[in-house]
């Protein structure tokens, strides 16, 4: 069984995943920004679940916008259990609206949370993983950099940035026996609060210039639901896939795995992109970086 830290575990995919991993016998640290403040209720619910189920499930404070917070959370886990095996970069936020109406501060903030946040957590954990020459970096990404739907421009950009950082970090981590898995959920409305809690653009004057499109924006969640074909897996399906993948032995975990109720054909794009990237890296003479190696 593994010691696992998961970010953004107050709600949705992160919360479900923390519980399912604990149910499977892992030691799990469910992190959230402020368990003694704004996240008091979800923190209490997780602690109650741990007591009721007698699972090794804990709560730890971690704000992905702070390197000091990420460092402290990782150190707490390592000291508490003499190590850390898996980090699941899950924390994220959704923006819905017109690209032009999002200010530079809006876009910068979302990229800071959704992309740079994973980098901060990685910087906190990679020294430990490199020393052990083992560990798993798992990312809860999205199919959205491939599907690129309208009215979610900053979110698309932030998830694409996270994905690119994950890919390049993987090359370098592979040399130290550190595995990478990018979990790619499709559009999800079941089991998350992404749409109800989504932020809108700050520049309301510019947004008003697009008011002819407002009915489409208001219809985004319904239009997303219309893409699904039963049975719908939702957030629970993502949690189940994470549990399954982490149970696979070293060298057998997929670099990407897609859970997409919309069946958007993302797997074919992933396969083509992987082949092109791998060939490019081989032509550079760096093919040893394509897969994790233990020495």
Catalytic residues: 155
Q: In sequence order, which residues have a C-beta less than 8 Å from that of residue 33 and are 6 or more positions away?
A: 10, 39, 61, 62, 63, 64
- How far is 292 from 290, CA to CA, in rounded Å? 7
Identify the burial level of 242 via C-beta atoms within 10 angstroms of its C-beta, where 0-12 means exposed, 13-18 middle and 19 or more buried.
Answer: buried
Structural contact between residues 43 and 15, judged by C-beta atoms closer than 8 angstroms: no
Q: How far is CA 21 from CA 197, 202, 245, in A?
A: 25, 38, 11
**What DSSP state is assigned to residue 60?**
E
Neighbours of 253 (CB within 10 A): 18
Which is it for the CA torsion 4, 84, 114, 35, positive or negative? positive
Identify the burial level of 71 via C-beta atoms within 10 angstroms of its C-beta, where 0-12 means exposed, 13-18 middle and 19 or more buried.
Answer: middle
Q: Residue 1: in which H helix or E strand, if any?
A: none
Structural contact between residues 163 and 266, judged by C-beta atoms closer than 8 angstroms: no
Structural contact between residues 187 and 152, judged by C-beta atoms closer than 8 angstroms: no
């Amino acid at each position: 069984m593994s010691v696992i830290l998961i970010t953004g575990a107050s709600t949705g995919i992160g919360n479900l995943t923390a519980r399912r991993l604990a149910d499977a016998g892992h030691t799990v640290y469910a992190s959230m920004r402020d368990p003694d403040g704004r996240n008091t209720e979800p923190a209490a619910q997780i602690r109650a679940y741990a007591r009721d189920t007698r699972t090794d499930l804990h709560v730890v404070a971690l704000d992905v916008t702070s390197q000091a917070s990420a460092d402290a959370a990782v150190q707490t886990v390592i000291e508490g259990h003499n190590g850390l095996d898996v980090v699941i970069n899950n924390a994220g936020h959704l923006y819905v609206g017109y690209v032009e109406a999002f200010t530079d501060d809006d876009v910068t903030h979302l990229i800071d949370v959704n992309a740079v946040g994973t980098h901060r957590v990685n910087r906190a954990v990679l020294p430990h993983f490199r020393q052990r020459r083992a560990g798993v970096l798992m990312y809860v990404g999205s199919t959205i950099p491939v599907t690129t739907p309208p009215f979610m421009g900053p979110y698309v950009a932030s998830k694409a940035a996270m994905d690119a950082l994950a890919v390049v970090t993987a090359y370098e981590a592979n040399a130290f026996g550190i595995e990478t898995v990018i979990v790619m959920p499709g559009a999800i409305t079941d089991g998350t609060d992404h749409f109800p809690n989504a932020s809108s653009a700050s520049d309301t004057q510019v947004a008003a210039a697009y008011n002819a499109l407002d009915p489409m924006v208001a219809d985004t969640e319904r239009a997303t639901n219309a893409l699904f074909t039963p049975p719908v897996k939702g957030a629970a399906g993502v949690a189940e896939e994470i549990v399954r993948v982490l149970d696979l032995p070293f060298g057998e975990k997929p670099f990407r795995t897609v859970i997409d109720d919309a069946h958007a054909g993302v797997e074919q794009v992933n396969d083509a992109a992987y082949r092109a990237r791998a060939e490019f890296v081989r032509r550079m003479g760096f093919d040893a970086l394509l897969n994790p190696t233990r020495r």
